[in-house]
Chain A
Amino acid sequence: MSEQAIPRKFQRSRRPFSVLGIMLGLVIGIGAGLFFTWGLSPVEVVDTEPWQLTDDDKTQYMIAITMSFAYDSDMGAAINRLVGLRLPGDPIQAVADTACVLATNGYTNNTSGLNAVRSMMRFYQLQGRTGCADQVIPANDDPGSIVTIDIPTATVTLTPPASKTPTPASDVATPTPLFVAVPTSLPQNDFELVSVNTACDVGLIQVFVVELNGSTGIPGLEIRARWDGGESRFFTGLKPEQGAGYADFQMEAGRDYLIEMPGRSDPVSRPLSAVPCTTESGARALTSYTVIFRSVS
């Protein structure tokens, strides 16, 4: 028999294993192993982490984080805990978005809910984020800032009735005291605080004073910034490129400020704190505020 007559497959050296058998065995084996470990006998979860919680419980966890922050102001701890929730995107903005949902779905109908959302607002506002809760829950609606003032009312003094005893006529003309009516009125503010919004940039307090229509700026009005041990007064309209009713004030880091229109408005309900913050790009900056006063008449 010549060599040419032998089929080629008999000319190759025979392998000690079957490639097809190996491939088939691996596929079936791995498949069976995964089916067993993922389907029949998965790893028993004994250490559930916050990111594995349901959405509702994540929300409660988030609220607890901001409530805790309200007590200790430990931003690092709060951020670490938020990161543990593995929220999509910017975790601080996620707090703002959650506060928005809570503020609009009736969660704030009781004091506890309101406290919770306020703590969330304070948290994200300090980091320069905004959310719809800022509009839904007014900045000046803090129950703790309500001050009851007992205003003394004028006592009406009745004119005594005319005496029945005739008085002798006198030749001397008695000068009649001049009666001067002094109109009295309750102290009334000309302007009301409309909103306080925060941003994270250069630590500036930007004040806008507007007419009742909410858009026309009013120049030449005095604004006062007070802090522990000092105050500064500045006026609207000195930077016309920013608008007629605009004025601003540069804060110093770590200091708290009260802003008001002296004698014409109440001060902001809580101090504006120049606290460090982190911008969305990750840069360190200082909290800024935009304060709007509006004429009430």
Chain B
Amino acid sequence: MSRFLLSLAAALIVGVLIGLYIGWVQFPTQTIDSPASALAQRYKDDYTIMVADGYRADGDLSGALERLRILNVENIPAFVQETAERFITNSRDLEDIRALVILAEGVGRLTPIMQPYRPLGQGS
């Protein structure tokens, strides 16, 4: 009987370790139906740039704001400003910065750090 119990206990420990490996490492749970507000920062940035590009294409500010609303940020103009300034500070892609600056200007959040990235001919 003790041989059985010892084997059971040892296998139990090994089994739990295997189960933890499978559940946390090999096949972790995958969440679907997540809101856009749960997107990883890099995808939030990517989405914001795409919306800014769309604004550059059609000049439809209300459409751009509507599209950004799914990110569920409290203050969209402040979010655009923060994103644009972060991109400038981190020396990100110039075209992305320009798109964000144009959108920031569209929502009335043009700040001095953005001035050099405004389209030519609009400098103050």
Contacts and interface: CB of A to CB of B under 8 A. Distances in A.
8 contacts: A18-B8, A25-B14, A28-B12, A38-B29, A43-B28, A60-B36, A64-B50, A64-B51
B83 to A, nearest CB: 14
Contact of B49 (A21, A22, A61, A68): A68
B4 A48 contact: no
A72 interface: yes
A111 B23 CA distance: 48
A33 B50 contact: no
Interface string A54-77: 101100110111011011100000
Interface string B66-104: 110010000000000000000000000001000100000
Contact of A21 (B11, B28, B33, B66): B11
Contact of A18 (B3, B20, B28, B29): B3
A37 B20 contact: yes
B63 interface: yes
SS of A interface (majority) = helix
A60 B69 CA distance: 10
Interface of B: 3-24, 28-36, 38-40, 43, 46-47, 49-51, 53-54, 56-58, 60, 62-63, 66-67, 70, 95, 99
B88 to A, nearest CB: 20
Contacts of A25: 7-15
Contact of B62 (A23, A30, A37, A112): A112
Contacts of B33: 52-54
Contact of B35 (A16, A50, A53, A64): A53
Contact of B17 (A33, A50, A72, A116): A33
A171 interface: no
A35 B70 CA distance: 34
B19 A45 contact: no
Contacts of A67: 50-51, 53-54, 57-58, 67
Nearest to B99: A71
A31 B33 CA distance: 27
A52 B10 contact: no
Interface of A: 16-38, 42-43, 45-50, 52-54, 56-57, 60-61, 63-65, 67-68, 70-72, 81, 111-113, 115-116, 119
Contacts of B99: 71
Nearest to A23: B11
Contact of A37 (B7, B23, B30): B23
A53 B33 CA distance: 5
B34 A45 contact: yes
Contact of A33 (B3, B16, B49): B16
Nearest to B11: A25
Contacts of B38: 45, 48, 52
Q: State the 3 A-B residue pairs at the shortest beta-carbon distance, nearest first.
A: A33-B19, A29-B15, A37-B23
Contact of B23 (A24, A38, A52): A38
Given A50-B43, A70-B57, A111-B63, 12 more contacts: A21-B4, A30-B18, A33-B22, A43-B29, A46-B40, A52-B30, A52-B31, A53-B34, A57-B36, A60-B36, A67-B58, A81-B50
B50 A29 contact: no
Given A36-B20, A111-B60, A53 B54 contact: no
Contacts of A43: 24, 28-29
Given A18-B8, A38-B23, A52 B34 contact: yes
Given A37-B24, A70-B58, A71-B53, A64 B16 contact: no
A29 B18 contact: yes
